């Protein structure tokens, strides 16, 4: 485990060196690549940028969010063109129709919440699902940007307060206890959904 961590740290350092000539736009570039087909250690690299240039942390948050939203357009195109056929083959018609209808009612939140979560959240699967269900492009971009903005803003605040080493520690912990993380996410989403339903019922009454 220690060896793997060292390899990932060196890999992130090498990527940061490659991106250095791009200046702040390096954050946009790596987030765009990570948001498309290729996974990158984007959190570690962004944390490094922020730690060494804390006064412009909000700029890096915005660039990383915009880069991730831009890169996700690649997956959006793939899912939009052929994703629905794949889902129909793997799901019974009734279940597909039910999920499709549910997603259409809450499409923004269904994509924004996963975008907020750190790895190992399979965010690309949510992107493909959203595009397969033909989520409107402006809503798609806005949901990814909003979710990633929250994620990278939290990352920035943690980095400024505790340093990039703490961010790496949190990432390692999440990977080791991903089951508990998913349980917490599911419970949180259920609580928010129940709260929202009660609010709607009170408004109708």
Q: How confident is the model at residue 40 (pLDDT cuts 50, 70, 90)?
A: confident
Residue 73 CA: distances (Å) to CA of 35, 131, 145, 197: 8, 9, 12, 32
pTM of the model: 0.72
Radius of gyration for the alpha carbons in the chain, expressed in angstroms and rounded: 18
106 Cβ contact list (under 8 Å, min separation 6):
none
Measured between alpha carbons, how far is 33 from 24 in angstroms, rounded to an integer? 15
Measured between alpha carbons, how far is 55 from 18 in angstroms, rounded to an integer? 23
pLDDT for 71 beyond 90: yes
Mean pLDDT of 165-190: 55
Predicted pLDDT at 151:
92
* pLDDT tens sequence across 80-132: 887 677 667 766 777 677 667 767 777 888 889 889 887 767 788 888 888 88
């Amino acid at each position: 485990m220690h060896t793997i961590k060292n390899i990932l740290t060196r890999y992130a350092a090498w990527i940061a060196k490659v991106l250095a000539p791009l200046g702040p736009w390096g954050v946009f570039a790596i987030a765009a690549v990570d948001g498309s087909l290729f996974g990158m250690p984007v959190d570690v690299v962004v944390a490094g940028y922020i730690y060494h240039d804390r006064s412009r942390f909000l700029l890096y948050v915005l660039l990383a969010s915009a880069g991730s939203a831009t890169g996700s357009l690649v997956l959006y195109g793939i899912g939009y063109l052929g994703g629905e056929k794949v889902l129909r083959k793997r799901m019974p018609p009734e279940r597909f129709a039910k999920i499709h209808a549910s997603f259409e009612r809450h499409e923004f939140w269904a994509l924004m919440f996963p975008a907020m979560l750190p790895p190992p959240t399979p965010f690309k699967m949510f992107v493909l699902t959203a595009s397969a269900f033909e989520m409107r492009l402006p809503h798609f971009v806005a949901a990814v940007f909003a979710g990633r903005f929250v994620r990278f803003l939290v990352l920035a605040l943690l980095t400024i307060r505790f340093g990039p080493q703490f961010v790496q520690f949190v990432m390692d912990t999440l990977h080791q206890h991903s089951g508990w993380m998913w349980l917490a996410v599911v419970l949180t989403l259920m609580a928010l959904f129940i709260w929202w339903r009660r609010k709607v019922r009170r408004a109708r009454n």
